[in-house]
């Protein structure tokens, strides 16, 4: 069993984030011994998985489903990841378009941002 400070150190998260994820049911509820939270040894690994999912753009609801789906089999996990990949590809296309527009605006010769025909098109 790990104390919340140890979980924080091993997961790289603040204790407030750990308590928040516990309240949301994303991690196992800690047992209390003399008023101190004791978490299972697996908690830092699960928190690192949650952090990775957040960085990939999953919402907390999606993360809950993602973690629950592992207990139910891989199909929902696969569907969630494939959907997220589609969202990321779409964002990348939009960002590439924005990058091109900004790059082109540097060479158009406009004197003001709000007068640039490239940006306003």
Q: Where are the domains of the chain?
A: 1-48, 56-106
CB atoms closer than 10 angstroms to residue 88? 12
Q: Say which residues have a Cβ less than 8 Å from residue 28's Cβ, sequence separation at least 6.
A: 22, 39, 40, 42, 43, 46
Q: Tell me the per-residue pLDDT of 78-99, one tens digit each, with 9 for 90 and over.
A: 888 999 999 999 999 999 999 9
Q: What's the CA gap between 2 and 41, in Å, rounded?
A: 6
Element (DSSP H or E) covering residue 3: strand 2-3
CATH entry 1.10.1660.10 includes domain 1-48:
yes
Judged by DSSP in three states, 42 sits in coil
Q: Tell me the per-residue pLDDT of 15-28, one tens digit each, with 9 for 90 and over.
A: 999 999 999 999 99
Q: Say which residues have a Cβ less than 8 Å from residue 110's Cβ, sequence separation at least 6.
A: 116, 117, 118
Is the pLDDT confidence value at 71 over 70?
no
Q: Tell me the per-residue pLDDT of 2-13, one tens digit each, with 9 for 90 and over.
A: 999 999 999 999
For residues 84 and 71, is the Cβ–Cβ distance under 8 A? no
Is the pLDDT confidence value at 73 over 70?
no
Is the pLDDT confidence value at 56 over 80?
yes
């Amino acid at each position: 069993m790990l104390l919340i400070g140890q979980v924080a150190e091993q997961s790289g998260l603040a204790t407030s984030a750990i308590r928040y994820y516990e309240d949301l049911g994303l991690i196992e509820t800690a047992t209390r011994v003399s008023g101190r939270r004791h978490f299972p040894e697996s908690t830092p690994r699960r928190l690192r998985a949650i952090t990775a999912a957040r960085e990939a753009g999953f919402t907390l609801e999606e993360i809950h489903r993602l973690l629950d789906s592992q207990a139910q089999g891989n199909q929902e996990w696969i569907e969630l990841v494939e959907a997220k990949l589609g969202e990321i590809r779409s964002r990348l296309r939009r960002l590439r378009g924005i990058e091109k527009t900004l790059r082109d605006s540097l060479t158009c010769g406009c004197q003001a941002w709000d007068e640039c025909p490239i940006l306003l098109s």
